[in-house]
Amino acid sequence: MIQKLISKIKSTNAPIVVGLDPMMNYIPEHIQQKAFAEYGETLEGAAEAIWQYNKEIVDNVFDLIPAVKPQIAMYEQFGLEGLKAFKKTVDYCKEKDLVVIGDIKRGDIGSTSAAYAVGHIGKVQVGSRTYAPFDEDFVTVNPYLGTDGVKPFVDVCKAEKKGLFILVKTSNPSSGEFQDQLVNGRPLYELVGEQVARWGEECMGDDYSYVGAVVGATYPEQGRVLRRIMPKSFILVPGYGAQGGKGADLVHFFNEDGLGAIVNSSRGIIAAYKQEKYEKYGAENFGEASRAAVEDMIADISQALNNR
Amino acid sequence: MIQKLISKIKSTNAPIVVGLDPMMNYIPEHIQQKAFAEYGETLEGAAEAIWQYNKEIVDNVFDLIPAVKPQIAMYEQFGLEGLKAFKKTVDYCKEKDLVVIGDIKRGDIGSTSAAYAVGHIGKVQVGSRTYAPFDEDFVTVNPYLGTDGVKPFVDVCKAEKKGLFILVKTSNPSSGEFQDQLVNGRPLYELVGEQVARWGEECMGDDYSYVGAVVGATYPEQGRVLRRIMPKSFILVPGYGAQGGKGADLVHFFNEDGLGAIVNSSRGIIAAYKQEKYEKYGAENFGEASRAAVEDMIADISQALNNR
C-alpha cells in the first residue's frame, strides 16, 4: 500500500491528505436540516449528515489528492450509527481510488492489538470464512505499550500489504509532557522514532517502509531530527493549517527525493467555507470551497519544497 | 461512579473485575454452532456467538462481582456487528447493576479525545437533543499525548460522575521499552503516575478519585511504588491469572484500608472450562466453570490480603 500511496502522490503532485473529521458545527445547516428532516435529531440523523457532508467534499477533491484520513473518534462519538458512517466513508473513498488512512490510534497488549489489526487492516476468521471488517489501507498506532503492542499490527501489514503510521511526536501543545522527556540526554520521541525505523525494516516497499510515523507540523525542528532517524519511514504530518503549521515548516519532514512525508489538513479543508478567504463560496457550495483550499494547500507546499 | 464501585466492592467483598474479552476460540462449539445455524458464518453470526457467550457468563457471576471490563478490540475486530454485541453487553451488564469499565485505551489530541469521551462516558449533542451512545461507567485512557489529550476525559468524568483508568505501567512483557526509561533517574511510569494523581485531584469522591490508573499485576514492585505515588487513585490491575500474576503479588496494589485496587481476570474466568481444574464442568456448563473460577479468585485475593 505504501507503493500505491507513493505513486498517487507522484501522479497528483500533492503530498497531502485530507482529514475527514466531521464535527457537527462544521456541517452546513442545509445538510443538517435535510438529514434531521429524514431521520430526526437522532444519532442516525447525525450519521446521515456526516455522510452527506463527507460525500460532497470527497466528490469535490478526490481527483486532486492521493489520500484521506477519517478520524474515527468523530464518528465513534455518535455510537454505532456514527461508525456506520465511518465505514461508508471508508468504502466510498476506496471506490474513488483514494488511499484511506484510518486515524484510530489504537494500541494494546499483543493479543488485543492483534484484534484491532485484523479488524481494521486485516481479515478476521469466522468459522471457515474470513472477512475484512473495516478494511482501511493504513491505520495510526499508539506505541506506549512497546514492541509487543505494535508487532501484531506490523505482522498484519506484512501479510496484507497495508501500512501503519505510529505516533512519535504528536502535534498537540502538551505532547512534550512525556514525549520530550530526556532519556540519557535524548528525548523519548527519538527512541520511539528509532523503534519505528527498526519495526519498519521488515516491511519494506521499494524505497520506503510500510511502517511510517506521525510527527506534528507544529514541531518542525523535531521533524528534521526524526527525518534523519527514520530515513525509510513515511511521516504523516498533522497540524498544518488550523493547528498552526505552515508550508515553510514542512520542508524538513521531506527527504531529498521530495518524498517521505504526507501532510494532513482537516478543518482547514473540510470547513474551508467558514474561513474569510473562501466565504465567497457560501455554505451551499462548501465542497467547492474545500476544493479551492486543497489547491491552495498543494501550491503552498509545492512552493515551500521548491524554495528549499 | 467511584463511590458505586467502592460500595459494590465492599458488599461483594470482591475487589475483582471480570474481563469480557471473548476470543472465538474461547467460545464453546455449541454456542458457535447455534449462532452460525441462525446467521451463517458471518460477522453477525460471530457477534451473536459472542453475545450469547457473554450473557451466560454474566448470568452466572453477576452476583459475586462488582464490575466487568469488556475489551472493545475483541468486538471491534468483527466490525459493526461486533460493536453491536459490545453495546448489548454493556447494556446488559448495567441492567445487572454491574459497573462497566470499557477497556478502550483511547487517547488523542484535545478535540478528538473530547469526541471519544462524549461517545463513551458522556453525552453527544445532536441538534437540540443529547444521547449517551456507548454509556460505559469507566473507560481506560492512553496518556502518551499528555494533559491536553487526557483533560477532555477528565472534564466529562466530572460532569457525568463517571471514571477513568489511565495506563501507567501496562502488564505486557515489553511495557518497559518506553515506560521504564529513566528520566532524571526515575522511570517514565512514575512521572505518568504523578500526573494521574494530579489529574485526579479535581475529581475526588469521598476517599478516592474518579481518575484511576492501570498497573499490571505482572509488575508487583512497580505497583508498590505507584501505590504510594497515587494514594487516592484506584488501580485497575490486569495480568492476574493467565498473564502470570498471582494473589500474593497483588497485595502491594492495595491501600491499608483494603481498597484502592481492583484486579482483572479475563481468560482465567471466561475460558475457565478449558482449564484442567474446571474441566469437570464441561463445555456445556462453561458458565458454572466461570462461577467457580470467580469464587477461587476471590478466595485467593482475600487470603493474600489477610496474610499481609
Answer yes or no: do A145 and B175 touch at CB < 8 A.
yes
Q: Taking a contact as any Cβ pair under 8 Å apart, which residues of chain B between 209 and 248 contact chain A?
A: 238
Residue B273 pLDDT grade (very low, low, confident, very high; cuts 50, 70, 90): very high
Q: How many CA atoms lie within 13 A of B257 on its CB side?
A: 12
What average pLDDT score do residues B274-279 get?
96
Residue with cell 483550499: A293
pLDDT at A125: 97
Each residue's pLDDT tens digit, B292-302: 999 999 999 99
| Angstrom distances, CA of residue A111 to CA of A70, A184, A279, B78, B272 | 25, 32, 49, 15, 18
Instruction: Using a pLDDT cut of 70, give the percent of chain B over it.
Output: 99
What average pLDDT score do residues B72-90 get?
98
Task: Identify from B24, B83, B172, B191 which residue to disrupt to test chain A contact, counting A C-beta atoms within 10 A and taking the largest count.
Answer: B172
CB B206 within 8 Å of CB B214: no
Q: How far is A83 from chain B (nearest CA, A)?
A: 7
Answer yes or no: do B112 and A21 touch at CB < 8 A.
yes
Q: Is B233 helix (H, G, I), strand (E, B) or coil?
A: coil
Amino acid at A260: G
Checking if the pLDDT of B264 tops 90, the result is yes
Q: Tell me the pLDDT of chain B averaged across its residues.
A: 96
Instruction: Using a pLDDT cut of 70, give the percent of chain A over it.
Output: 99
CATH number at A161 reads 3.20.20.70
Residue B249 pLDDT grade (very low, low, confident, very high; cuts 50, 70, 90): confident
Nearest 5 degrees, angle CA A146-CA B147-CA A117? 35
A77 touches chain B (CB under 8 A): yes
Q: Is B71 helix (H, G, I), strand (E, B) or coil?
A: strand
Checking if the pLDDT of A60 tops 90, the result is yes
Checking if the pLDDT of A242 tops 80, the result is no
* Partner-chain residue, chosen from B79, B127, B145, that has the shortest CB–CB distance to A134: B79
CB A46 within 8 Å of CB A77: no
What average pLDDT score do residues A241-256 get?
82
B127 touches chain A (CB under 8 A): yes
Q: How far is B263 from chain A (nearest CA, A)?
A: 17
For chain A, what is the HEC assignment?
CHHHHHHHHHHHCCCEEEEECCCHHHCCHHHHHHHHHHHCCCHHHHHHHHHHHHHHHHHHHCCCCCEEEEECHHHHCCHHHHHHHHHHHHHHHHHCCCEEEEEEEECCCHHHHHHHHHHHHCCEEECCEEECCCCCCEEEECCCCCHHHHHHHHHHHHHHCCEEEEEEECCCHHHHHHHCCEECCEEHHHHHHHHHHHHHHCCECCCCECEEEEECCCCHHHHHHHHHHCCCCCEEECCEHHHCECHHHHHHHCCCCCCCEEEEECHHHHCHHHCHHHHHHCHHHHHHHHHHHHHHHHHHHHHHHHCC
Phi, psi angle pair for B132, to nearest 5°: -110, 90
Q: How far is B12 from chain A (nearest CA, A)?
A: 29
Checking if the pLDDT of A241 tops 80, the result is no
A179 touches chain B (CB under 8 A): yes
What average pLDDT score do residues B28-47 get?
98
Max Cα-Cα span within chain A:
60
Tell me how far apart the alpha carbons of residues B176 and B222 are, in angstroms, rounded to a whole number: 11
CB B54 within 8 Å of CB B20: yes
Each residue's pLDDT tens digit, B56-70: 999 999 999 999 999
* Partner-chain residue, chosen from A46, A110, A112, that has the shortest CB–CB distance to B126: A46
- Which residues on chain A are in Cβ contact (under 8 Å) with B112? 21, 71, 73-74
**Number of structural domains found in chain A:** 1
Checking if the pLDDT of A199 tops 70, the result is yes
Non-local (6+) Cβ contacts of A154 within 8 A are A164, A199, A202, A203, A211
A268 touches chain B (CB under 8 A): no
Q: Taking a contact as any Cβ pair under 8 Å apart, which residues of chain A between 44 and 73 contact chain B?
A: 45-46, 71, 73
- Give the torsion sign (CA, A181, A187, A191, A196): positive
Task: Report the relative pairing of strands A124-126 and A129-131 from DSSP bridges.
Answer: antiparallel
B86 touches chain A (CB under 8 A): no
Each residue's pLDDT tens digit, A164-196: 999 999 999 999 999 999 999 999 999 999 999
- Strand-pair partners of B141: B106, B166
What average pLDDT score do residues B179-192 get?
97
Residue A23 structural domain: 2-306
* Partner-chain residue, chosen from A42, A112, A167, that has the shortest CB–CB distance to B71: A112
Size of interface A-B (CB pairs under 8 A): 223
Task: Identify from A33, A78, A145 which residue to disrupt to test chain B contact, counting B C-beta atoms within 10 A and taking the largest count.
Answer: A145
Checking if the pLDDT of B158 tops 80, the result is yes
How many CB atoms are located within 10 Å of the residue B279 CB? Answer: 12
Q: Tell me the pLDDT of chain A averaged across its residues.
A: 96
A257 touches chain B (CB under 8 A): no
Residue B227 pLDDT grade (very low, low, confident, very high; cuts 50, 70, 90): very high
| Angstrom distances, CA of residue A275 to CA of A26, A216, A246 | 11, 23, 16
pLDDT at A243: 66
Checking if the pLDDT of B166 tops 70, the result is yes
Residue with cell 457467550: B53
The residue with greater pLDDT, B141 or B242, is B141
Q: Which secondary-structure segment (H or E) carries B139?
A: strand B138-141
A41 touches chain B (CB under 8 A): yes
Residue A245 pLDDT grade (very low, low, confident, very high; cuts 50, 70, 90): low
Tell me how far apart the alpha carbons of residues A41 and A289 are, in angstroms, rounded to a whole number: 27
C-alpha cell at A149: 503492542
A42 touches chain B (CB under 8 A): yes
Checking if the pLDDT of B252 tops 80, the result is yes
Q: How far is B30 from chain A (nearest CA, A)?
A: 13
Query: Where in the sequence numbering do the catalytic residues of A fall?
Result: 105
Task: Identify from B39, B76, B179, B181 which residue to disrupt to test chain A contact, counting A C-beta atoms within 10 A and taking the largest count.
Answer: B76
Residue with cell 498484519: A156
Each residue's pLDDT tens digit, A265-276: 999 999 999 999
A29 touches chain B (CB under 8 A): no
